[in-house]
Structure 1
Amino acid sequence: MDSQDLANLAHLRRARDLIDREYARPLDVPTMARHALMSPAHFSRQFRATYGETPYQYLMSRRIERAMALLRAGMSVTDACMAVGCTSLGSFSSRFTEIMGESPSAYRSRDHQAVTAMPACVAMVRTRPVRNAAPRNMAARNDVSRIREAGPKAAD
């Protein structure tokens, strides 16, 4: 890795930190790219190559992760949607279901005692959304949970 690669990585981390900190704000790729001191197209390519997902996918993962915590705490789906920066309840619910494999209201009504019994640092790691390769058709997608939450790791 040469000095230019290290500089690019530092710039990408700056943009990723922006997403982690400001996930509830309206963020778009040009804004993120400005923080990384890159053009939007170059930023998107570099971000995906480095982190394995597009900047928008990463942003939505952070929003869903925060929404999961709010839903576990008993917040309504609509309030959680707005609190994490999503403006469309339908889009939020669709994305949540796509990533989690269940609707936000089903997730909210589930028992979360295992997560609340864990130390916060462990719960944060165990409940973080993990994107896997999604099946192409919806019938197969309904059978696959794309997130492992507070349970034993699945065999790879």
Structure 2
Amino acid sequence: MTPEELANLAHLRRAKDAIDRDYALPLDVPTIAQKAFMSPAHFSRKFRAAYGESPYGYLMTRRIERAAALLRAGASVTDACMAVGCTSLGSFSSRFTELMGESPSAYRGRAHDAVEAMPACFARFATRPLRSPAEPKSSRNGEALRQGAG
């Protein structure tokens, strides 16, 4: 790895740490890119290459992760939404459902006894939102769809 690539990784890590720390603040890609000393477009490409998702996607995943912890603790959906920096309850609910597989209200309403019994470090790992893999693209002969149906 070249010294320039190492420097870029250090800058990306600084930006990722800023997202983890400041997730509840109004962040956007240009603001985060400044922390990495890169243009927004270059930063987005490098971030995706290094971490496998866009900076905005990473930010929203962290926000949903923190919101899930608040919902498990008994916060209302609206309070959790606002506490993690989301301004639209509808967008928050859609993203929460996409990442967690159930609505925020359903998540809040069910028991989380197993998570509450875990040490915090294990609970964070066990409850981390994961994006589902992309749907297979159909080809002219439908081969991708048949392989996915397996």
- TM-score, normalized by length of structure 2? 0.88
The corresponding residue for 1:59 is 59
Instruction: State the shift of 1:128 in Å.
Output: 1.1
Instruction: State the shift of 1:130 in Å.
Output: 1.9
1:129 equivalenced with 2:123 (yes/no): no
**What does 1:14-25 align with in structure 2 at a 5 Å threshold?**
14-25=14-25
The corresponding residue for 2:13 is 13
Instruction: State the shift of 1:126 in Å.
Output: 1.1
Instruction: State the shift of 1:14 in Å.
Output: 0.4
The corresponding residue for 2:93 is 93
Structure 1: runs of 5+ lacking an equivalent = 137-156
User: 1:80 & 1:130 partners in 2: Cα distance?
Assistant: 19
User: 1:132 & 1:38 partners in 2: Cα distance?
Assistant: 29
The corresponding residue for 1:147 is none
User: 1:96 & 1:134 partners in 2: Cα distance?
Assistant: 17
**What does 1:4-153 align with in structure 2 at a 5 Å threshold?**
4-135=4-135
User: 1:116 & 1:40 partners in 2: Cα distance?
Assistant: 39
**Matching residue's letter, 2:87:** T
Instruction: State the shift of 1:134 in Å.
Output: 3.4
User: 1:34 & 1:123 partners in 2: Cα distance?
Assistant: 32
User: 1:93 & 1:7 partners in 2: Cα distance?
Assistant: 37
User: 2:106 & 2:135 partners in 1: Cα distance?
Assistant: 22
Instruction: State the shift of 1:132 in Å.
Output: 3.0
User: CA RMSD of the aligned region, Å?
Assistant: 0.9
Percent identity of equivalent pairs: 76
Deviations 1:22-57 (A, max 9, x none): 000000000000000000000000000000000000
**Matching residue's letter, 1:52:** G
Instruction: State the shift of 1:82 in Å.
Output: 0.2
Deviations 1:98-140 (A, max 9, x none): 111110000001110000000111111111112231337xxxx
The corresponding residue for 1:145 is none
User: 1:5 & 1:117 partners in 2: Cα distance?
Assistant: 42
Alignment: residue pair count: 136
The corresponding residue for 1:143 is none
